[in-house]
């Protein structure tokens, strides 16, 4: 599943990465050709946070999905 999100600042990045880290499946975050492991706080912080980012999940977790919805800028794509 994919969702587009916007992270506005370090606290939101920390919340997102913490939630991603609790999942037992891979999660990528990307824009253009830049792909980062969503469980890496340094990786996510290195991205241009002024951009809308796409999150791709390779599994499902209701708690993580609720965090994603908090930062969503567009509805999910299956």
Crossing angle for the helix pair 10-21 and 62-71, to the nearest 10 degrees? 160
CA distance 3 to 66: 12
| 3-class DSSP assignment, residue 20 | helix
Tell me whether residue 76 is in a domain: no
Tell me whether residue 78 is in a domain: no
| Cross-sheet strand order for the sheet of 27-31 | 2-5, 53-57, 27-31, 34-37
Tell me whether residue 33 is in a domain: yes
Structural domain total, the chain: 1
Per-residue pLDDT of 46-61, as tens digits, reads 998 899 999 999 999 9
Tell me whether residue 77 is in a domain: no
Tell me whether residue 50 is in a domain: yes
Check: pTM over 0.85? Answer yes or no.
yes
Per-residue pLDDT of 11-67, as tens digits, reads 999 999 999 999 999 999 999 889 999 999 999 999 988 999 999 999 999 999 999
Domain of 41: which CATH number?
A: 3.30.1340.10
Structure tokens at 78: 């299956």
């Amino acid at each position: 599943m994919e969702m587009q999100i916007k992270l506005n600042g370090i606290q939101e990045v920390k919340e997102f990465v913490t939630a991603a880290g609790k999942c037992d499946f891979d999660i990528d975050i990307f824009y253009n050709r830049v792909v980062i492991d969503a469980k890496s706080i340094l990786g996510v912080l290195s991205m241009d946070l002024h951009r809308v980012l796409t999150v791709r999940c390779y599994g499902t977790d209701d708690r993580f999905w609720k965090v994603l919805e908090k930062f969503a800028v567009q509805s999910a794509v299956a």
